[in-house]
Structure 1
Amino acid sequence: MEKLVNADEFVERFMVGNMDHLRYKHSPVKVFRLIDIAPYLKIPIPPILFGYNLLIHLTEGYFEHQVGPKVYVVNAPAVLMSTYGNISAIKSVDTSAKGHCVLINDSAMTSIFREQEILNIFTISPLLNLSKDVSDGINQLFRMLYEELHTSDPYKELTESLLKSLLLKIIKLSASNRVLSRTQEIAMLFKQLVHKHCRKQKHIGFYTDKLAVSANYLNRCVSTVYNKSSKQLILEVLVMHAQLMLFESSNSVSDICYELDFPDPSYFSRVFKKLVGMSPTDYRYTTRQ
C-alpha cells in the first residue's frame, strides 16, 4: 500500500543540495518560500500521495502541476490548491519562481474550518488566476503567515486566523462561497470519501451507508455535479493510486491490478491506458527515467 509523503521526506527524495533551511519542526501548518524550493527540485516529480492539503501562491514565474488526472499550467499571478487525498505530480517549474507554498495537515483543516467551509474549499477549482492587485493583497497575508510561523514561538491563534483569512479570501474569489444544494453537497462529500477510502472501500454500499442515501440518489447527485457515475469516479481515483504504486513499488502490473481489485490485468491495462494515455508498463518506465 502506498504511503503518504510528508514534507521532510519530499525534501529527501525530490530535492538536491543542502536543504537544512527547509527542515521543519513538526507543525500542522507549514509555509515555505518558492525561491527556497524551485531551484532545487528534481524535475519531473512523479505522482505522489502528499500527506497535506497543498496551497501554492505564485507571484512570479510558472510551473506545471498535475492534480489528480489533470495537468495545470500555472502562470503568475495565480493560486493552485490540491486537497488531501489527491495525487500530485510536478511536470516542470521555473527555477526563478517566487511566491509561497503552504502545507496544511488535514486535522488542522477540520479544527480551523466549519464543515460547510471545508466543502467550499473542496469545490475550488485547483487553479485560480489572479489580477496583480488581488495577488498583491493575498501576498501580504502569506508573508505575515510565513513570518509568524518562522518566529521562535509562533502564536497559534494568529497563524490559524491568517490561514483562515487566506482560504476564505480564495473561496470568495473562486465564487465557491455559495450555499451548496443538497445534490452538490452529497456529490462533494462522496468525492472526499472516495479519495480517503477507495483503497479499502470500492463498493458503493460503503459510501451510501456513510452518506445515508440510496445508491440511485447518490448516482443522480454524482452525475449532475461531475457528469459521470459513482463507479466511474471511484475507478478514476483507483487509477491515480495505480500510477503511484507503479512508481513507488516493484510489484508487477498484475499484482497491482489485483491489489486494487480489478478483475484481470487486461481490463486494468485498458482502463489505465484510456485514462492516462499509456499502458501501465510504459508509465512505469517513463516515470522512472
Structure 2
Amino acid sequence: MENTETTFKEFTKTYIRNFPDKFRYLETLVQIYNVDDLFTKNIVTPTPLLKADFNFIVFPTDGNFEQQVGNEIKKVLANQALLVMQGEVTSLLRQSKNVKGYYITFDDKILQQFKDQSYFIKLFTVAPIIQLHSNDSKFLEQVCKLIIQELETPKPDEQIVLYLFQSLLLKLLKSSELKKGLSRQFDIAISFRELVYKHYSEHYSINDYAELLNISSNYLNRCIQNVWNKSAKQFTQEFIIIQSRKYLQDFSEPISGIAYHLNFSDPSYFGRLFKKIIGISPQEYRSKTMHDLSE
C-alpha cells in the first residue's frame, strides 16, 4: 500500500467534471482559478480524503464552503481565506450554491524565496483561516484578477505572476493574528507536527519525538497543549486515524491489512481507537463512504 500524494492534475481529472479548457495551459508555479468555474456544478461533494502534493489557498468573495483539513472541519466565509499546506489530508465537504472567489495552488519553491519562510509555514499550520478586513479583501481580489489577466496573455511572464503572488502572501501575513511575537512554543509545535507527518506509521513514542527535538517530553506536551489544545499523544493518535481514513477508501484492502500497514500489531485495537476518535467503526466508515460514492 503506497502513501501517495495526489497532484492537482490528478485531482481535476478525477473529481472535476467539465474542467474548463482555458485552464489547461497552466504549468506555472502559481495556478489560479475562479471558484465558480472550477467547483460550482462541476464537483460532487464530499470529495474523498486526499493527501495533496500542492499548497493551496481558497479565498471566497461570496458564499461559503466547508473543508476538512486533517481532523478538523473548517467553515470558510466570504472575506476569509483558507490556507492548506502540501501533505495535509483534506476534503471539500460542501459549498453553498452562490460560492464565488479564487482557488490558488502554488509550489513550495515560492515560500523558499522569502527571507523568513518560517512565518508562512506557521501561518498555514497555526492560523489556517484568516479574517480579512474590507480593504485587504479588495486588495486580494484585485491581485487575483491581475494574476489571471497575466496568465491569460499569449506569453505570460511567470516573474510578474510570482511578484503578484508574493504580494498576496505578504498581505495575508499582515492580516493574520501572527503578525509578530511568534513564540518558541509555536516553533516546537510545528517541528513536532512535521516529525509526526514523517514518522506516524512507525508509532514513535512521545519520548522519541522529544528526543529528536532536544526537549523534555513534559515540555513537548505543554507546547502542543498550548498551541492545539490537546496532548502530544492525542495529536499523534488523531493524525494516524486521519491517515487511515484515506486508506479505507481503497475498498480492495482489508481493514486488518490497513491496521498492519500502519504498524498496529492488533487490528482490534486499531478499530477501538478509530471508533474512539471518529465515532464509528472502520467498517461503518467504509460502508458510509461506499454509499456516498454510489449516490
Asked whether 1:29 is paired with 2:30, we answer: yes
* Aligned CA distance change for structure 1 residues 49 and 249 (closer, same or farther; 3 Å): farther
Matches within 5 A, 1:105-184: 105-112=107-114, 114-184=116-186
- The answer for the alignment partner of 1:283 in structure 2 is 285
Q: Secondary structure at the match of 1:288?
A: helix
Alpha-carbon deviation of 1:6? 1.0
TM-score for both structures, normalised by structure 1: 0.89
* Aligned CA distance change for structure 1 residues 272 and 258 (closer, same or farther; 3 Å): same
- The answer for the alignment partner of 2:54 in structure 1 is 52
Letter in 1 for 2:232: S
Distance in 2 (CA, whole Å) between partners of 1:201 and 1:104 is 31
Report the more deviating stretch, 154-163 or 261-270. 154-163
Alpha-carbon deviation of 1:276? 1.8
Q: Is the 8 A contact 2:122 2:190 kept in 1?
A: no
Q: Is the 8 A contact 1:187 1:225 kept in 2?
A: yes
Gaps of 5+ in 2: none
1:18-76: CA deviations, max 9, x gaps?
Answer: 54333344332211111211220122212111111110010012212111111122222
Q: Secondary structure at the match of 2:182?
A: coil
Letter in 2 for 1:37: L
Distance in 2 (CA, whole Å) between partners of 1:156 and 1:212 is 41
- The answer for the alignment partner of 1:16 in structure 2 is 17
TM-score for both structures, normalised by structure 2: 0.87
Q: State the identity %.
A: 31
Q: Secondary structure at the match of 2:48?
A: strand
Q: Secondary structure at the match of 1:232?
A: helix
* Aligned CA distance change for structure 1 residues 113 and 249 (closer, same or farther; 3 Å): farther
Q: Secondary structure at the match of 1:267?
A: helix
- The answer for the alignment partner of 1:252 in structure 2 is 254
* Aligned CA distance change for structure 1 residues 163 and 49 (closer, same or farther; 3 Å): same
Distance in 2 (CA, whole Å) between partners of 1:212 and 1:18 is 48
Q: Is the 8 A contact 2:89 2:242 kept in 1?
A: yes
Matches within 5 A, 1:166-245: 166-199=168-201, 202-204=204-206, 207-208=209-210, 210-245=212-247
Matched pairs, number:
289
Letter in 2 for 1:258: Y
1:89-136: CA deviations, max 9, x gaps?
Answer: 111123442111011222332234623323432344332333444322
Aligned-residue Cα RMSD (Å) equals 2.4
Picking from 76, 79, 83, the partner of 2:78 is 76
Letter in 1 for 2:91: A
Report the more deviating stretch, 35-44 or 119-128. 119-128
Alpha-carbon deviation of 1:191? 1.3
Distance in 1 (CA, whole Å) between partners of 2:75 and 2:34 is 20
Letter in 2 for 1:157: Q
* Aligned CA distance change for structure 1 residues 149 and 198 (closer, same or farther; 3 Å): farther
Distance in 1 (CA, whole Å) between partners of 2:11 and 2:179 is 32
Gaps of 5+ in 1: none
Alpha-carbon deviation of 1:288? 2.4
Distance in 1 (CA, whole Å) between partners of 2:151 and 2:203 is 37
Q: Is the 8 A contact 2:80 2:130 kept in 1?
A: yes
Q: Is the 8 A contact 1:11 1:19 kept in 2?
A: no
Distance in 2 (CA, whole Å) between partners of 1:206 and 1:261 is 16
Alpha-carbon deviation of 1:144? 1.6
- The answer for the alignment partner of 1:6 in structure 2 is 7
Q: Secondary structure at the match of 1:180?
A: coil
- The answer for the alignment partner of 2:93 in structure 1 is 91
Q: Is the 8 A contact 1:257 1:265 kept in 2?
A: yes
Q: Secondary structure at the match of 1:167?
A: helix
Q: Is the 8 A contact 1:120 1:177 kept in 2?
A: no
Picking from 268, 271, 277, the partner of 1:269 is 271
Letter in 2 for 1:34: V
Q: Secondary structure at the match of 1:40?
A: coil
Moved over 4 A (4+): 203-206
* Aligned CA distance change for structure 1 residues 104 and 202 (closer, same or farther; 3 Å): farther
Distance in 2 (CA, whole Å) between partners of 1:27 and 1:199 is 33
